[in-house]
Structure 1
Amino acid sequence: MSQIARASAQTNLQNYITQILHTELNTDACSSPSPNIMCLRFGSVHVIVVNCPEIACEILRKNDAIFASRPLTFASDSFSFGYKASTLSPYGEQWKKMRRVLSSEILSTAMERRLHARRAEEADHLIRFVYNQCNTTANNSVDVRHVARHFCGNIIRRLTFSKRYFVEPPLGSAGASPGPDEMDHVDAVFTVLNYLYSFCVSDYFPMLRGLDLDGHEKVVHGVMTTINRLHDPIIKERIHEWSTLHKHGVKREVRDFLDVLVSLEDSEGQPLLSLEEIKAQTAELMFPIVNPSNAVEWALAEIMNKPQVMEKAMSELNTVVGKERLVQESDIPRLNYLKSCIREAFRTRPYHPFNIPHVAMKDATLSDYFIPKDSHVIISRVGLGRNPNTWDVPLEFQPERHLSGSSNIVLTEPDLRFMSFGTGRRGCPGVSLGSSVTMMLFARLLQGFTWTKLPGVQTIELKESTTNLALSEPLILQAEPRLPVHLYVSVSS
């Protein structure tokens, strides 16, 4: 291997690998290349870290079938209700079953079209919320992180449960701030992503499970308590509703993702999914809200320090959409510069340094290196996106690098020079939906408001958090409405 290291059981996996691989990527000099592939030993497990596009393509394209499984960890077991859903489950019949449900039913093109109106309504709610913030906060200040995360949370709750809030606010207050349950829900989802495959000593030394030496298990139990408290009443009520309809021979169209999960039947007319499978897949549907909100916060933070980039983005919006109507999903194919800004955010600022691990189901060879069966293989998102062998001035935010002359820029990267939604048989089946949500959030924020720094702030500090790669502090900016008043009034009524 390019580098072999042994880490103690107390070492944090994420920080340890990031320190080895990417110290030079976070300096101005980038004087020496990072290793393309590295092996670490945790207990009896080989953990293989990949840092370059060519080897990543070997894993997710050429040898996709070999690396199609997932590790068995305390957190992934808990979050998937015993591996009952799709994304976190090891390769096998249960994964195949839930993947078919997810791809063919939940995230199908037909379902995406059917739920378009709900996404459009949430984009209008976004404009209303920020507009109200402009009129009610000191200095017209807006917490962009709060706005982005709860916009994504509202969308996925609306698509999954047909409700924005767990307890609906009074009529006429749809532009109000999220309540305590919504705050808990979004916090729980982000905690899931922080702990899902972070280092837990008992994952590599199973005899220590239950001792909770690193506090990992306590956090996981707390998150699952929150998710169950908020999801279970809705799921059980919906199962009862569909059972009653079935008993009386009444049929109705599905209205959301939960309806799909509850209403599916097997060849004998019995429910296809158990309660635990429905709970697991419902929880898993919440995880992707992290990607759009983090990318948009970083993109806006970056362009606040680059007036020329902001000017180009606004010029494109003015040309493609204008100021007499609000940007819609149908405009996205022509917003290539905005998409290039988001691609740069995905490239340089992923929320998590690594993709979800793959497990080798048999011995394999990657770039002439022997990979033993059962090895955990993780691809470094930072290593790909900031690789000086792939990108010129890799730490510089330059949307123009993605403008290759294509008539329709996309947010995915087929050559794996960075990772956005993943690829291969364990890749994200919701690329289209995720791209739409990301772009509508970004485009509505830019089109609807003029953004400026707070008084006394000369430059936005682009510092990463110590626990993930989000901004270390929430992005807070001043916002001024820039469109005709009737557009804001029309979505506020």
Structure 2
Amino acid sequence: MLSFSTLLVFITFALCYLFNLQWQRNAQKPKQASLPPGPKPWPIVGNLPEFIINKKKTSVSHWIHSFMKEMNTEIACIRLGNVHVIPVTCTEISLQFLRKQDASFSSRPLTMATDVLSKGHLTTIFSPLGDQWRKMKRVMVSEMLSKERHRWLHKKRVEEADNLVRYVLNQCKNGDEGGLVDLRLVAQHYCCNVTRRLIFNKRYLGEGKADGGPGFEEEEYVDAIFALVIHLYSFCISDYLPFLRGLDLEGHEKIVEDATSVLEKYNNPIIDGRIQQWRDGKKHEPQDVLDVFISLTDDNGTPLLSADEIKAQVSEIMIAAVDNPSNNLEWALAEMLNKPETLQKARDELDYVVGKDRLVQESDFPQLNYIKACAREAFRLHPIAPFSPPHVSVTDTTVGDYFIPKGSHVIVSRVGLGRNPKVWNEPGEFKPERHLQDCNKGEEVVLEEPDLRLFTFGRGRRGCPGVVLGSSMITMMLARLLQGFDWSIPTNQGTIDLCTGRGVPFLAKPLLAVAKPRLLPHVYCFSTESEIQ
């Protein structure tokens, strides 16, 4: 019988042997990639303490960009609660996420704001990966944003382009020295008017104004849209600690719910009334996008979209179509007013391509490369948001030698891409010519940016499907305003202050400029088809 000491020696040798065997096996395994660098997280709450402190001091985006610069990294990891947030500031790594491994990052987070606006994530942009998202994306791509539908809606876009010029012309009549025009108001309401015209076949929700400007209803509607734009992906604490939802510690829930209620107050009666018209047989042929949505049927002949799906999707379209183009126009003109030579080059191009005897049309766009270069440069320097909407990883994966856990929120820095000194020479300067140099001779400048050197409309499975419509709205707005009017900075103002507001991507103050007609009076005579409705 073995003594206790002999047994102890045997067990010790056995454990040493097993330990050595396991060590050898681990040594043979490839080393697992580590998470991207970032601030050291606290237990359970992660980096939420720093997050909260910096959100109150400046903004979350400023904090993220600052510590990434200090750490000299172009990809980072912040843990908020149990969520890994992965900010990226360079083109090469962004392309790995959104091109090479696009399928792995094709979902969206379930947030408080997107849940409220999309009626439980029924829409295209805000829905997580799944059957509902696939259904709504098919509807949007094939029924609203196809080339055929774009041509079908052409007349409605022309009507609003004419109304845009008419409204600014009416402001010029207010004084002999030209009229002072609020270009933020012009841009936001033009984009909203175009989108309402396409969806509802109407621009006004109330009576409007005699000069073509927005009434109270339209102003309330646009204010609600931009309240939602600011809060949709605003790093709300309850999105990372869901048990806090309902307490509304930051006041975000009330803002989102109130703004959503404003949109629904105006949208829902129109939608409900139109659905009833189709049910009663009073409508038979689609005249706008709402009719198209209502008239869609499945293989059994039953309506493809529920009333809630239509209502949620309409609200989403309104937000997606208004924010980016209007912000781009205001920033582009602000930069151009500070650099009169760019204004002159744009006018020279319009005079050469279009002339002064007619207004610019969509058919002219392929030849308006300098106009589009100005819009691209505004996108590069002044994106509508500091980060892209989050892309959620659907599996564990490795990107750029870093481990990205399933469920991570990848956010691409629009600011980081557009102002990256490795990509752009003099990244802080407004130089539209750089985009002309990027094109081969004879090529058309486009606003879409597939290589992610700057962020315009996004890309991949979650890229914006409305690139054609968005590009058309931006180009038309900028071209019509520059062709139809001479613009100048108000007397005694000096230059335009290009500072942004606190925590928002917009100019701190709305852009005000003096407009004077630069074409002969007969060019401003519009057909009765484009009269204000």
* TM-score normalised by the chain length of structure 2: 0.87
The answer as to 2:409 corresponding to 1:399 is no
- Of 302, 307, 313 in structure 1, the residue corresponding to residue 346 of structure 2 is 313
Partner residue of 1:130?
168
Secondary structure of 2:76's counterpart equals: strand
Structure 1 residues 12 and 81: CA distance shift in structure 2, 3 A? farther
Structure 1 residues 485 and 351: CA distance shift in structure 2, 3 A? same
- Of 6, 18, 21 in structure 1, the residue corresponding to residue 65 of structure 2 is 21
Structure 1 residues 152 and 409: CA distance shift in structure 2, 3 A? same
Which residues in structure 2 correspond to 1:70-219 (within 5 Å)? Answer: 70-136=108-174, 140-169=179-208, 173=210, 175-219=211-255
Secondary structure of 2:427's counterpart equals: coil
- Of 48, 57, 68 in structure 2, the residue corresponding to residue 7 of structure 1 is 48
Partner residue of 2:323?
290
Asked if the contact 2:54–2:63 (Cα under 8 Å) also holds between the matched residues in 1, the reply is no
One-letter code aligned to 1:4: P
Which residues in structure 2 correspond to 1:364-383 (within 5 Å)? Answer: 364-383=397-416
Asked if the contact 1:21–1:35 (Cα under 8 Å) also holds between the matched residues in 2, the reply is no
Asked if the contact 1:84–1:280 (Cα under 8 Å) also holds between the matched residues in 2, the reply is yes
How big is the shift at 1:18? 2.4
How big is the shift at 1:254? 1.2
Q: Which has the higher contact order (CA 8 A, sep 6+)?
A: 1
Distance 1:44 1:380 in 2: 22
One-letter code aligned to 1:10: I
Asked if the contact 2:207–2:215 (Cα under 8 Å) also holds between the matched residues in 1, the reply is no
Distance 1:74 1:24 in 2: 27
Secondary structure of 2:416's counterpart equals: helix
Asked if the contact 1:22–1:34 (Cα under 8 Å) also holds between the matched residues in 2, the reply is no
One-letter code aligned to 2:242: P
Secondary structure of 1:37's counterpart equals: coil
Distance 1:69 1:356 in 2: 11
Partner residue of 2:524?
488
Partner residue of 1:28?
none
How big is the shift at 1:227? 1.1
Asked if the contact 2:88–2:412 (Cα under 8 Å) also holds between the matched residues in 1, the reply is yes
Structure 1 residues 23 and 89: CA distance shift in structure 2, 3 A? same
Deviations 1:311-341 (A, max 9, x none): 1111101100110100001101000011000
Secondary structure of 2:410's counterpart equals: strand
How big is the shift at 1:218? 0.8
Partner residue of 2:90?
52
How big is the shift at 1:491? 5.7
Distance 1:118 1:341 in 2: 25
Distance 1:450 1:67 in 2: 46
Structure 1 residues 73 and 114: CA distance shift in structure 2, 3 A? same
Greater shift, 214-223 or 132-141, is seen at 132-141
Partner residue of 2:480?
444
Asked if the contact 2:208–2:216 (Cα under 8 Å) also holds between the matched residues in 1, the reply is no
Partner residue of 2:307?
275
Distance 1:35 1:228 in 2: 43
Asked if the contact 1:12–1:199 (Cα under 8 Å) also holds between the matched residues in 2, the reply is no
Structure 1 residues 272 and 11: CA distance shift in structure 2, 3 A? farther
The answer as to 2:109 corresponding to 1:65 is no
How big is the shift at 1:24? 10
Distance 1:313 1:2 in 2: 44
Secondary structure of 1:198's counterpart equals: coil
One-letter code aligned to 2:119: F
Structure 1 residues 317 and 23: CA distance shift in structure 2, 3 A? farther
* TM-score normalised by the chain length of structure 1: 0.94
Distance 1:262 1:168 in 2: 26
How big is the shift at 1:490? 3.2
One-letter code aligned to 1:295: N
Asked if the contact 2:277–2:283 (Cα under 8 Å) also holds between the matched residues in 1, the reply is no
How big is the shift at 1:467? 2.2
Distance 1:270 1:216 in 2: 38
Partner residue of 2:7?
none
Distance 2:364 2:475 in 1: 10
Which residues in structure 2 correspond to 1:315-334 (within 5 Å)? Answer: 315-334=348-367
How big is the shift at 1:420? 0.5
Distance 1:105 1:140 in 2: 41
Asked if the contact 1:22–1:382 (Cα under 8 Å) also holds between the matched residues in 2, the reply is no
The answer as to 2:514 corresponding to 1:473 is no
Structure number, greater radius of gyration:
2
Asked if the contact 1:22–1:383 (Cα under 8 Å) also holds between the matched residues in 2, the reply is no
Deviations 1:143-182 (A, max 9, x none): 0100011000100000011110112459xx4x42211111
The answer as to 2:291 corresponding to 1:263 is no
Partner residue of 2:27?
none
Distance 2:193 2:409 in 1: 34
Distance 2:207 2:356 in 1: 33
How big is the shift at 1:33? 9.0
Greater shift, 13-22 or 289-298, is seen at 13-22
RMSD, aligned CA: 1.8
Distance 1:17 1:472 in 2: 17
Distance 1:194 1:34 in 2: 29
Partner residue of 1:429?
465
Secondary structure of 1:49's counterpart equals: strand
In structure 1, list runs of 5 or more residues that go unmatched: 26-31
Distance 2:280 2:333 in 1: 48
Asked if the contact 1:142–1:478 (Cα under 8 Å) also holds between the matched residues in 2, the reply is yes
Which residues in structure 2 correspond to 1:220-239 (within 5 Å)? Answer: 220-239=256-275
Distance 2:268 2:497 in 1: 41
Secondary structure of 1:252's counterpart equals: coil
Distance 1:153 1:63 in 2: 35
Q: Paired residues, what number?
A: 480
Asked if the contact 2:278–2:284 (Cα under 8 Å) also holds between the matched residues in 1, the reply is no
Distance 1:160 1:303 in 2: 33
Asked if the contact 1:12–1:198 (Cα under 8 Å) also holds between the matched residues in 2, the reply is no
One-letter code aligned to 1:157: R
Deviations 1:191-221 (A, max 9, x none): 1110001121111111111111111111111
